[in-house]
Amino acid sequence: MTSVWISLPRVNVYASFAFCVPFTVQHIPNITQILAVSAIDTLQKFEVNDLYLKWPNDIVMNNRKLGGILAQSTTGGGVPSGCLAIVAGIGLNINTTADDLQVIQRPIWPATSVYVETGKQLHVAAVRQLLIETFTNNLSLFLQHGYQQFVPRINTLLALRGQQVRMSDGEVEWEGVQQGVTNDGFLELSLSDGTTKTFVSAEHIHDIRPVRQ
């Protein structure tokens, strides 16, 4: 992986979750979205609001990136047969100051923290513990009942929904109105010619703009 999370010790939340998922479970890649929703739900319990999920799994606030998720999977190294071993790691900027955030260079979706956006300093250990409990519960629901039960909540939290955006799938750039997430966790974009483009994997590459009427 090439992504890097820059953060100071003891002021933010870092957590890695390791677990096995049977191959028979559908939508395994969307577990990172479940973790993102769990992070938002956790912070809302601490009265941190105006949080959104930037597809596929970033946590944003006021058009700035508050948290990110990285995940790896393997079937080797003693993993039980018929099972995929996953490690999902999350970083949440909690008490980082504006000065310390300046070392993070992000031209689009610049880094922020709960403290910068709200002036609140949260108890990091308490946030981490509630996140563990919330994700453990949501992961259990995912494994028992599937991904679709989370789709309405994800679409409610989805940043840029109904706005005109530019996306890149690594080869082609697309511009259109972001509609929402499908029952498979894919992102739908309404194009100007009336068609719909569905993304399995893509990146927002342009600042947000209002939809032109």
CB 45 within 8 A of CB 112: no
211 inside domain: no
Helices and strands: H and E segment counts in the chain:
5, 10
Q: Please give the pLDDT value at position 211.
A: 40
pLDDT tens figures, 47-65: 999 999 999 999 999 999 9
Residue 209 lies in a domain: no
Task: Tell me, yes or no, whether 196 and 151 share the same domain.
Answer: no
Q: Tell me how far apart the alpha carbons of residues 24 and 147 are, in angstroms, rounded to a whole number.
A: 13
Q: What is the pLDDT of residue 7?
A: 62
Q: Would you say the pTM of this structure is higher than 0.85?
A: yes
The domain in which residue 58 lies consists of 13-157
* DSSP 8-state assignment for residue 159: T
The DSSP result for 18-75, as a single string, is EEEEETTSS-GGGHHHHHHHHHHHHHHHTT--SEEEETTTEEEETTEEEEEEEEEEES
Q: Is 5 domain-assigned?
A: no
Residues of the chain where predicted confidence (pLDDT) is lower than 70: 1-9, 107, 206-213
Is the same domain home to 110 and 186? no
Neighbours of 56 (CB within 10 A): 21
Check whether residue 41 and residue 95 sit in a common domain: yes
Within this chain, do residues 64 and 86 fall inside the same structural domain, yes or no?
A: yes
List the CATH number of the domain containing 72: 3.30.930.10
Looking at the fold, whether 117 and 185 belong to one and the same domain comes out as no
Sign of CA dihedral 188, 84, 6, 150: positive
